[in-house]
Amino acid sequence: MSTHAATTPASDNPAPPPNKRKHPHRWRNRILYTLLVLAVILIAVRLALPTWVRWYVNKTIDQSPLYRGTIGDVSIHLWRGGYTIQDVRLDKTTGNVPVPFFSARQIDLHIEWKALLSGKVVGQVTLFKPELNFVDSKNADTSQTGNEGASDAGGGGGPWLGMIRDLFPFQINSAVVHNGEIHFRAFDSNPPVDVYLNSLEASVDNLTNIHDETKPLITTISASALAMNQAHFEFNMKLDPFSYRPTFQLATRLVGLDVTQINPLAEAYGDFDFQKGYFDVVLELDAKEGAVDGYVKPLFRNVQIFSLRHDIKKDNVLELFWEALVGGVTKVFSNPPRDQFGTYIPISGDLDKPSTDLLATIGNVLRNAFIRAYLPRFQGVAPDSGGLEFAPGTDIDPSNPVYNTP
């Protein structure tokens, strides 16, 4: 019996072709290769960033021909969106000025993350141990004001402010200062003058109006420091950074400065010196589109300018007479209970050339001497403007022994 007929030919009933399956591992490999390439690129960029940033910073701080800038190490902080510069220094290139105009141990620039919630990309700058040195000199090459080369830097306060602004690719919205110093120096004087603020803590907020506020005084500046490492200094200000002409409110006060600390300044610019005493000053200004109103209140307590024991030894008879005259006037017009010579000087007019009322100033000298002594407290120049709170209750601590020196 043949079995050939019972066998079905393979060609008559072909087997179904195997399913062609895609290989998922090929796509996985492609993704891994892509991620690897991206990682290599990011690492290369990260390694190159410090060099590029250092080049950019050097280029930025050398934008004025009158100032030469140097920096130390540069550190990148990608997670903060910023970078840190160490040992920044800005020196004047003309003359032989022995101190830098600006220096800082560290400058930290980064994106202000809270501003992102308002849809704004702005920056914050923090300065650690910054120092400003203003130098007065008869020779322009050895003086140092910070305004030299302002036209080269595009104006706006001189090259050093332009340098700070240009160090970050975004607009600076806020600034913080830790342990800063501001010096006024005169090296030509004998002895040299060095009047300074130290231990300066300051903050500047909302320079770019990130919340789109409609009130005019949107930016706030506050600071506190020691004058000559001894007297308390405070500063508060609100301003409109977008106003065509200055619009601001300002209140500042210095209390309890030992006047013997500033004898080099008094000798250089007033031809007299102090034997003892304390100095207080209060200043408030309210400016609207360049029109200013305010006052300054200088007060001298327990001051002695002329001393026979010390001054009789001086060879300059005119200087001796001038000190005796100044000392006599301050003594005659001092308030007896407080032993204080002072006055209240009203200020008004255009901010570029403000005027003072001479008769009112003289009258206030007499008021301080014979009616009631002025105190180093804020008077209030714009109580209804919605700006700073100029409260008389913000007087200094009455338990302070410097304030109550008899």
Residues 6 or more apart whose CB falls under 8 angstroms from that of 82 comprise 108, 109, 110, 111, 123, 168
Residue whose C-alpha is closest to residue 99's, from 140, 139, 66, 142? 142
Q: Are 226 and 257 in contact (CB under 8 A)?
A: no
Residue 131, strand partner residues: 103, 181
Q: Which helix (H) or strand (E) holds 166?
A: helix 159-166
Q: Residue ranges of the chain with pLDDT lower than 50?
A: 1-2, 5-6, 151-157, 308-309, 317-318, 320-325, 382-406
Residue type, 363: G
Question: Which three-class secondary structure state does DSSP give residue 387?
Answer: coil
Instruction: Quote the pLDDT of residue 361.
Output: 82
The pair of three-digit structure tokens given for residue 280, joined into one six-digit string: 């207080």
DSSP 85-121: EEEEEEEE-SS--SS-SEEEEEEEEEE-HHHHTTT--
Residue 311, strand partner residues: none
Alpha-carbon span 84 to 69, nearest angstrom: 16
Residues 6 or more apart whose CB falls under 8 angstroms from that of 265 comprise 184, 193, 195
DSSP 173-187: EEEEEEEEEEEEEET
Alpha-carbon span 199 to 245, nearest angstrom: 32
The pair of three-digit structure tokens given for residue 379, joined into one six-digit string: 């008077």
> For the whole model, what pTM was predicted?
0.76
Instruction: Quote the pLDDT of residue 359.
Output: 84
> For 301-359, what is each residue's pLDDT tens digit?
888 775 544 555 555 544 544 444 455 556 555 667 777 888 888 998 898 888 888 88
Phi first, then psi: give them for residue 143, nearest 5 degrees: -90, 165
Burial group, residue 160, by CB count within 10 angstroms (0-12, 13-18, 19+): buried
Residues 6 or more apart whose CB falls under 8 angstroms from that of 396 comprise 232, 255, 256, 376, 377, 403
Alpha-carbon span 365 to 249, nearest angstrom: 26
Paired sense of beta strands 276-288 and 172-186, if any: unpaired
